[in-house]
């Protein structure tokens, strides 16, 4: 049972590593942001699987923290995205 | 009883892994940003949801199970918010381009 969980964690991390290729190729900032979001979620899943696989309950707390922080990454991205909205550009240029 | 739990865990976790695979492949292969976002949220919500569902019977105590569910709810909340924000950013970029 434990081996299966650890193998599943490895598989999820492999998927996330595959998804990170989108950061290299991603045309827009949003695509790179998505890969970072996938990294967050994949990290949470892998942590939970490892917590169950290796009977380390502390890893569940680490996943809880990662789940909290994953949201702020995107909020920071959207806030700092270049404010190119037409209305805002008029406001800033005026 | 134990075998029932273990087989359920194997099934649910592998289903979650399949959704991660589908989400990642979708993230890489889809043509434009919004469809990639669609694929990404599938991996997020369903992949993680099924993994957590599969891990519940393995939880050593009710507190750990509750913590697993909390992690999943937080990830759901984060995923929903993130998707809306990124979609708005993508739409705003498309308006300029």
A-B CB pairs within 8 A amount to: 154
A10 lies within 8 A of chain B by CB: no
What's residue B10's pLDDT?
93
What's residue A73's pLDDT?
82
Confidence band (pLDDT; 50, 70, 90) for A2? confident
Distance CA B40, CA B56 (A): 24
Nearest to A45 among B9, B48, B82 (CB): B48
pLDDT tens string A22-74: 778 777 778 888 888 888 889 999 999 999 999 888 889 999 998 888 878 87
What's residue A89's pLDDT?
58
Please give the ipTM for the structure prediction. Answer: 0.86
B28 lies within 8 A of chain A by CB: yes
Nearest to A68 among B13, B43, B74 (CB): B74
Phi, psi of B59 (to 5 degrees): -65, 135
The two structure tokens encoding residue A5: 């969980």
Answer yes or no: is pLDDT of A9 > 90.
yes
For residue A77, give Cα distances in angstroms to A84, A85, A87, B4. 14, 16, 20, 44
What's residue A13's pLDDT?
92
Within 13 Å of residue A43, how many CA atoms lie on the same side as its CB?
A: 17
B46 lies within 8 A of chain A by CB: no
What's residue A69's pLDDT?
86
Averaged pLDDT for residues A71-89: 70
Best mutation target among A21, A38, A85 (most B Cβ atoms within 10 Å) is A38
Confidence band (pLDDT; 50, 70, 90) for A79? confident
- Residues sharing a CB contact under 8 Å with residue A72, sequence separation 6 or more, in sequence order: none
The two structure tokens encoding residue A73: 């990454």
Answer yes or no: is pLDDT of A11 > 80.
yes
| Cα–Cα nearest to B10, from A24, A26, A4, A9 | A4
Task: Chunk chain B into consecutive blocks of 10 residues (it has 97) and report each block's average pLDDT, rounded to whole numbers.
Answer: 90 92 87 84 85 89 90 86 84 77
């Amino acid at each position: 049972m434990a081996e299966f969980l650890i193998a599943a964690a490895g598989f999820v991390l492999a998927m996330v590593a595959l998804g990170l290729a989108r950061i290299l190729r991603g045309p827009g900032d949003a695509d790179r942001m998505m890969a970072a979001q996938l990294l967050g979620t994949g990290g949470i899943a892998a942590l939970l699987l490892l917590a169950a696989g290796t009977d380390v309950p502390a890893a569940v707390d680490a996943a809880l923290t990662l789940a909290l922080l994953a949201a702020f990454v995107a909020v920071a991205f959207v806030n700092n995205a270049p404010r190119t909205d037409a209305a805002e550009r008029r406001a800033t240029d005026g | 009883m134990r075998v029932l739990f273990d087989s359920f865990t194997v099934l649910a976790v592998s289903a979650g892994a399949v959704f991660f695979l589908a989400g990642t492949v979708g993230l890489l292969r889809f043509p434009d940003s919004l469809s990639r976002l669609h694929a990404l949220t599938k991996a997020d919500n369903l992949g993680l949801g099924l993994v957590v569902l599969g891990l519940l019977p393995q939880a050593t105590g009710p507190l750990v199970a509750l913590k697993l569910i909390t992690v999943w709810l937080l990830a759901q909340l984060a995923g929903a918010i993130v998707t809306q924000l990124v979609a708005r950013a993508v739409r705003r970029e498309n308006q300029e381009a």
